[in-house]
Structure 1
Amino acid sequence: MTTAADQQAFLASVMTRLTGPAAPFELVEEDVLGARMPVMRHRGRAVHELLSASAVYGDRDYLVTADRRMSFTEHADTVAAFAAVLCEDYGVGAGDRVAILAANTIEWVVAFWATQALGAVTVGLNAWWVPREIEYGLQLSTPKVVVADAKRAALLAQADTDAPVVTMEEDMPRLIASRAGSELRVTEVDEDDPSVILFTSGTSGKPKGALHSQRNLLAVSDYHRYSDALALAFAGRDYDPAVPSDLRYLLTSPLFHIASLHNLVVPRLATGSAVVLYQGSFDVDRVLGLVERERVTNWGAVPTMASRLIEHGNVRKYDTSSLTAFSLASAPSSVAFKERLREEVPFAHDALVDSYGLTECGTAIAVALPADIDSFPGTLGRPVFGVALEIRDPLGAKVADGVEGEVCVRSPYVMLGYWQNPEATASSIDKGRWLHTGDFGKVVDGRLSLTGRRSDLILRGGENIYPTEIEQCLDEHPDVVECAVVGEAHPDLGQEVAAIVVVANGGTVNEDELRQFAAERLSYFKVPSRWRLTTEPLPRNATGKMARGKIAL
């Protein structure tokens, strides 16, 4: 009989074999932006190195959609041609920004890699933004060019920007064909040079651009390669970096999220795995049909998607036997929800994994494996490989196990900072390179449990929403004196956005007018779905701050 101690001893021996001296994932301590931390000795220094090395995978699938298929060879050739276009036609070079504004598509991925080849910075704009939000993102990032699908190109026409636009449907095929046969041009960069900007909501009310470095993306890829090697060891097989992985990953989250870009598209180019891109609004039958047809092995979903799997009621009519890893991310889920999911969705029974992470961290902070979910329900597992985690009190001192405090993390995955926002960077990352997440939790026996989310954050279907941005928008209406936006429980989305609006004396605005007012200025998922209009002032505490805990519909 194998005991827990035996399993721990085996795990320790495997980790030593993989990370010890002369091992493929050998760890050494080095200076990273002024802080000492463990990093891999044998690592790349530029993201484009992954692109150059991927040619060895030849005709294997890299990108697959419902009606298209692109091999590693075709991808490398297409990227080389589009990189030539960006350089020669638009003057894109090292450090320049190239914005991408589109739904999930193969062209999104091609534009990303072409940008990386040139040493430029990919700016992943939120494809659900309305013109005003798009305009803000472009003014902040000042891209040399915007690559957009037709739907978002029409929105760009309504934004105040003079950035040239390359459309995916019309311009990209023509321009790529004009540079067919181009050699891949690459620009040398340092590992702590910027690579990607992805937007995350902020308590100031405006999205912030999380700036990730070459090191960040490569370290995340190395973490995934290490995880693959660890899984092989547990299956009794040796890891060989020259042998491509046969795993096939389903991508259902937007490419402007780290879950899809940093943790799927980038590392799978490094491992020779296929990425199956789901396109369009989430539909259980179409998703499971794709899983069945493409023999998907790994899928990371947000809880809302998992909830719809449960509600579907006929998951078993599809052959999902290939799916051996199913993870939840982007939003918290209850113990009861996970139990129901494992009972009613066959592939979740033995494969369910839960995780916790932030855009600022590049990848997961902690992961709860199936054994953790079984034996320690409610926890989010142990910190992932390469992550140092501390729980700290309000003065910044580390607290003991079992004591609640702020979750702080340090790793080579943590962002450089917020683009063009040194104040926000300084308040989030201290001089020791510890990221203060603003989330609260405790650690018991090495496993993390969250006890509170970031102040006032609303989590709707995997999207982070901060009330301040919506409140500032509604405050622009002449009939609004003040307002408060809160999260209300929702059976499918987790939370929905609710607004309590104080209307001025004599004001005539109604709920429909306010909804339309917000919809013209905010993404659809930020527009409140529940409203209460009143003339009574909102409750405040002794210091004059709004007392959100006393506000309800």
Structure 2
Amino acid sequence: MTALHDFHDRDATVPVTLTWPGDHLMDEDLRRTLCGPGAPFERTVEDVLGTPLEVFAHRPPHLPALLVRARETMPDLPYLVFDGPEKETLTFARTHDLVAAYARVLAERHGVGKGDRVAVAAPNAREYVLAYWATLSLGAILVGLNGWWTAAEMDYGVELTEPVVVLGSGTPLERVSGAPWVRRTGTPVVALKELHRAALSLEQPPTALPRVELHEDDPAAIMFTSGTTGRPKGATISHRNFVYFTMHGSLGGAVNAVRDAGRYRQQPPDVQRASLCVSPLFHVSGAGVTIAVAPAVGLKVVFPGPGRWEAERVLKLTDEHLITQWSGVPTHYWRLLDHPDFDRYRTDQVTLAGSGGAVFAPELMRSIQRRMPGVQLGNGYGMTETLGTGTLINGSLLEEHPDSVGPAIPCTRVQVRGLDGEPLPEGEIGEIHIQGPGVFLGYWRNPEATEAVLAPGRWYRTGDYGRITDGRLYLESRIRDLILRGGENIYPIEIEHRLVEHPGIAEACVIGVPHRILGQEVKAFVVPEKGSRLTVEEVRAWAGETLAAFKVPAYVEFRDALPYNETGKVMKRLLEEEHEANP
């Protein structure tokens, strides 16, 4: 096996590159079984878009191959479960056949072909998943328009990507239908329900997916960034990125299971792996699990139906469909654990509870283990531009290092670099860079923005601060969140973690606000626990017990709730704008 193994060097003066430590955790027999010549996860070095990268030698060539293989190997296994007004369960075989029919309609009635864009503006639904697959099977590119966008933002999205057809439902469809670009170009706008009816009405529905020549580095989807600086950018995600998303997790999971054998809950033998899809399909978490992971490993994906995330609905569906793995941000877990009817629902089959990027506070980890003993926690670090790939930590390693987002995943390398772009030694804080098969193709029709974030060797500049210590990555803050107070660098995440450890604080968010002399000062937005009678002085005193005086919030504002976006992350930009309007 040829591999890029330059696993972390502990010399404090030597630049550090973080790589996957799994090879050091396996004995020779397991290594040969999983990663040896001809094994499922054999790795090699290949040219990827002009850069030699470590990749899996035996990988599916593209996404449609995953669906075809699932239809052949587990045709009758439930794949998609919809719990909305129209309850329905689709097996892998039924999904495959419907996708083939959808693809024929898109090709024959709307002229969709390889390289064309198909935009979708809709909440999660059966038709959205099927249209997603049909688009991919034609070699076209799925453009996921954010369902919460305004009409003006929808217009920006379609004008940038120029889809040959726009699909949708509900309010998002109404907004995009009136987009000036759509009206000006006469681009057809089709309701997803209409597409479904047309597929079902075919006199001779196809039994196979379209024959299209696909390459793994062909674009598969355009996912828009959050747009924290300027307009959102369309991150172009390849088939390779999606395929890698599922393969690295399978290998990492197998090795970690050996490391933590007998320590955590085991999935009941008669229960299918199942996950709730609580993230929108236009987001990495929703599309990655539904489109890549599920057909690769036989995962059942349950869609809660329309409406915002609700703890009781999650608990009800977990019980009814025997959900085995949860995913969410810390706020979701607090709300689940604090729900008064938590014990009424069956959760003992849940074996995994994962987050992404937002580190589990120690108190939250303790609370989860109290209510769900034996469940394995996991956390990782990635972003849209890497399809969520980067680092991963779970099980005993997470318990030992709860403030870390872990080592690099298989085939991925991580560096922390200084302002000069050079890798830094262990323990020094700098900008996190990621290299691997998960790194995106670039921003759609935005070469300047692409060039700004892709360093030589296809290293992605994340815009986040972090440090590498003992083979693990630790997040410090997003660069834009860094508070500069009187020459001191302050990382909000450190203060936020301290605040939520207070028994009377449910949630906290910290930002920097302008100060005439210091440049910036620290402000905390605090959501008290129900019944708590916190004062500003108590909050500041609590922070000051463990934090340096310059990190203690100068201002504390109590709120009933924090503003979250559709992926469960606090929208700090809104809090900053509110403060500017009412200092």
Change in 2 beyond 3 A, CA 1:430/1:176: farther
How does 1:79-94 map onto structure 2 within 5 Å?
79-94=99-114
Which of the residues 351, 361, 364 maps onto 1:334? 361
Alpha-carbon distance, 1:170 to partner: 3.7
Change in 2 beyond 3 A, CA 1:6/1:286: closer
Which residue is equivalent to 1:109? 129
Which residue is equivalent to 1:470? none
Change in 2 beyond 3 A, CA 1:15/1:357: farther
Which residue is equivalent to 1:58? 75
Which residue is equivalent to 1:415? 440
CA offsets, 1:479-538, max 9 Å, x none? Answer: xxxxx9x99635399xxxxxxxxxxxxxxxxxxxxxxxxxxxxxx97994783576xxxx
Identical counterparts, % of pairs: 33
Change in 2 beyond 3 A, CA 1:13/1:403: farther
How does 1:314-333 map onto structure 2 within 5 Å?
314-329=341-356, 331-333=358-360
Would you say 1:294 and 2:317 are equivalent positions?
A: no
| 8 Å Cα contact 2:67-2:92 kept in structure 1 | no
Would you say 1:371 and 2:400 are equivalent positions?
A: no
Task: Give the aligned residue type for 2:446.
Answer: N
Would you say 1:403 and 2:428 are equivalent positions?
A: yes
Alpha-carbon distance, 1:263 to partner: 3.1
| 8 Å Cα contact 1:251-1:299 kept in structure 2 | no
Q: How far apart, CA to CA, are the structure 1 residues paired with 2:434 and 2:226?
A: 19
Q: How far apart, CA to CA, are the structure 2 residues paired with 1:232 and 1:337?
A: 23
Task: Give the aligned residue type for 2:63.
Answer: V
Which of the residues 57, 61, 83 maps onto 1:45? 61
Q: How far apart, CA to CA, are the structure 1 residues paired with 2:523 and 2:112?
A: 42
Q: How far apart, CA to CA, are the structure 2 residues paired with 1:34 and 1:80?
A: 34
Q: How far apart, CA to CA, are the structure 1 residues paired with 2:61 and 2:326?
A: 29
Which residue is equivalent to 1:240? none
Q: How far apart, CA to CA, are the structure 2 residues paired with 1:231 and 1:276?
A: 26
SS at match of 2:247: helix
Which residue is equivalent to 2:266? none
| 8 Å Cα contact 2:357-2:405 kept in structure 1 | no
Q: How far apart, CA to CA, are the structure 2 residues paired with 1:492 and 1:115?
A: 46
Change in 2 beyond 3 A, CA 1:308/1:117: same
Structure 2 gaps of 5+ residues are 1-20, 263-268, 483-491, 497-510, 512-519, 530-569
Task: Give the aligned residue type for 1:63.
Answer: L
Change in 2 beyond 3 A, CA 1:179/1:72: farther
Alpha-carbon distance, 1:185 to partner: 1.1
| 8 Å Cα contact 1:98-1:147 kept in structure 2 | yes
Which residue is equivalent to 2:332? 305
Q: How far apart, CA to CA, are the structure 1 residues paired with 2:473 and 2:436?
A: 17
CA offsets, 1:343-390, max 9 Å, x none? Answer: 4x426x632212211111113311221312321231111111221011
Change in 2 beyond 3 A, CA 1:352/1:491: farther
Task: Give the aligned residue type for 1:491.
Answer: V
Q: How far apart, CA to CA, are the structure 1 residues paired with 2:47 and 2:160?
A: 30
Task: Give the aligned residue type for 1:145.
Answer: V
Q: How far apart, CA to CA, are the structure 1 residues paired with 2:68 and 2:317?
A: 29
Alpha-carbon distance, 1:311 to partner: 2.8
How does 1:492-507 map onto structure 2 within 5 Å?
none
CA offsets, 1:410-458, max 9 Å, x none? Answer: 0001101111111111110112110111111111111110112131499
Change in 2 beyond 3 A, CA 1:53/1:373: closer
Alpha-carbon distance, 1:45 to partner: 2.0
SS at match of 2:213: coil
Alpha-carbon distance, 1:227 to partner: 3.8
Change in 2 beyond 3 A, CA 1:447/1:532: closer
- Between 1:119-128 and 1:263-272, the stretch displaced more is 263-272
Which residue is equivalent to 1:436? 461
| 8 Å Cα contact 1:245-1:273 kept in structure 2 | no
Which of the residues 329, 333, 356 maps onto 2:381? 356
- Alpha-carbon RMSD across the aligned residues, in angstroms, is 3.2
Alpha-carbon distance, 1:275 to partner: 1.0
Q: How far apart, CA to CA, are the structure 2 residues paired with 1:329 and 1:9?
A: 24
Structure 1 gaps of 5+ residues are 237-242, 461-466, 468-483, 494-523, 535-551
Task: Give the aligned residue type for 2:407.
Answer: R
Would you say 1:167 and 2:203 are equivalent positions?
A: no
Which residue is equivalent to 2:90? 70
Task: Give the aligned residue type for 2:65.
Answer: E
Q: How far apart, CA to CA, are the structure 1 residues paired with 2:81 and 2:221?
A: 23
| 8 Å Cα contact 2:431-2:461 kept in structure 1 | yes
SS at match of 1:382: coil
Task: Give the aligned residue type for 1:31.
Answer: D
| 8 Å Cα contact 1:150-1:168 kept in structure 2 | no
| 8 Å Cα contact 2:252-2:409 kept in structure 1 | no
Which residue is equivalent to 2:578? 531
| 8 Å Cα contact 1:355-1:380 kept in structure 2 | yes
| 8 Å Cα contact 1:81-1:180 kept in structure 2 | no
Task: Give the aligned residue type for 1:257.
Answer: H
Which residue is equivalent to 1:346? 372
Q: How far apart, CA to CA, are the structure 1 residues paired with 2:358 and 2:76?
A: 37
| 8 Å Cα contact 1:288-1:318 kept in structure 2 | yes
Which residue is equivalent to 2:231? 206
Where relative contact order (Cα < 8 A, 6+ residues apart) is larger, the structure is 2
Change in 2 beyond 3 A, CA 1:355/1:489: farther
| 8 Å Cα contact 2:149-2:172 kept in structure 1 | no
SS at match of 1:491: strand
- Between 1:401-410 and 1:80-89, the stretch displaced more is 401-410
